[in-house]
Structure 1
Amino acid sequence: MRFHYTFQKVVDLKGNEKTQAEWMLSGALVELQAQERSLEELTSQRQMTMEALQAAAEHRTPLSKIREMQEYVDFLDICIARKHMDISRAQQEVQIKQDQLSTKVLDEKVWLKAKDKAQTLFQQNMILREQNELDEMATVRFAMKSL
């Protein structure tokens, strides 16, 4: 006789939910990394523009060109500030997804533990049943010999 867990579909569902939560966390981490790379690019662009602006200020560069470069630096500063907010939102999303995954992992563990307990109980009952059958066979043999 094989062990059949009544709530196996629930256990499978909890496993699937955990896997889905892992995928969601993975997606959130990818988004966070993309935002961080974008910030690095913006910071790098700003640094290069500032260096070009300083070099232009040292040479005889028209004021309109220097103003244009300064406006671009100001624009990059705004982009960098927005990117920091995007990164903050992405970090919050990662935290939410980590919390959801933790909940799903815990939920799956509870159901797996319940399944393990049911399987252990089933095995103990099977051992007890087999022992009773062996005892009954021994009793019948003893009774047959004593006749």
Structure 2
Amino acid sequence: MLKFNYSFQKVVDLKTSEKSHAEMKLSSAMGELQAEEQTLSQLFSDKDSLFDTLQNQTVNAVSAVQLQQMQDYINYIDQCILQKRQDIQSAQVKVEEKKEHLTTKMLDEKVWLQARGKALDSFQKEEMLREQNTLDEMATIRFVSRAR
């Protein structure tokens, strides 16, 4: 019995490798997005704790300078939050691009795997036909040799 040898196996392997690479890039982009979201969450947490501190300081005697510094810091955190939201939007766009890229690579791989599957089916049918012809030939030879 012959062994199946697909002539485009290197292309199939390349497409599989490209898909795996695209999966890793998507995973990395999703990790970056998650990190940005965690940073934004931390900024909101910092802002909330600063507001709590500011309210507590208002009850106690504090100078106007200290209140102004705290307000400036809150404004700074607000700026950071705005920037982080833009970073998150950028990361989300990057994730979507990586998803589309992965989808394309998955389709490419699927096409080549289907082509390989069809070639394998064809090979198996030919191999079965060869085996059947060999068996038929052997049966014919036996029949002819017995008939003599």
Which residue of 2 is the match for residue 109 of structure 1? 110
Which residue of 2 is the match for residue 45 of structure 1? 46
Q: Quote how far apart the aligned CAs of 1:54 are.
A: 1.6
Which residue of 2 is the match for residue 36 of structure 1? 37
Which residue of 2 is the match for residue 73 of structure 1? 74
Q: Quote how far apart the aligned CAs of 1:42 are.
A: 0.7
**Structure 2 Cα separation of the partners of residues 133 and 124 of structure 1:** 14
Q: Quote how far apart the aligned CAs of 1:59 are.
A: 2.2
Which residue of 1 is the match for residue 96 of structure 2? 95
Taking only aligned residues, the RMSD between alpha carbons, in angstroms, comes to 0.8
**3-state DSSP class of the match of 2:123?**
helix
Which residue of 2 is the match for residue 141 of structure 1? 142
Which residues of structure 1 form unaligned runs of 5+?
none
**Structure 1 Cα separation of the partners of residues 46 and 140 of structure 2:** 91
The ranges of structure 1 where at least 4 consecutive aligned residues each deviate by more than 2 angstroms after the TM superposition are none
Which residues of structure 2 form unaligned runs of 5+?
none
**Structure 2 Cα separation of the partners of residues 52 and 43 of structure 1:** 14
**3-state DSSP class of the match of 2:7?**
coil
Which residue of 1 is the match for residue 132 of structure 2? 131
- % of aligned pairs identical? 46
Q: 1:5-44 deviations in whole A, cap 9, x for unaligned? A: 0000000000000100011011101101110111111111
**Structure 2 Cα separation of the partners of residues 53 and 137 of structure 1:** 98
**Structure 2 Cα separation of the partners of residues 137 and 34 of structure 1:** 71
Q: Quote how far apart the aligned CAs of 1:141 are.
A: 1.4
Which residue of 2 is the match for residue 4 of structure 1? 5
Between the two structures, name the one with larger relative contact order (CA 8 Å, sep ≥ 6): 2
Letter in 2 for 1:140: I
**Structure 1 Cα separation of the partners of residues 137 and 118 of structure 2:** 28
TM-score, normalised on structure 2?
A: 0.96
Q: Quote how far apart the aligned CAs of 1:142 are.
A: 1.2
**Structure 2 Cα separation of the partners of residues 114 and 72 of structure 1:** 62
TM-score, normalised on structure 1?
A: 0.97
**Structure 2 Cα separation of the partners of residues 9 and 69 of structure 1:** 63
Count of residue pairs brought into register by the alignment? 147
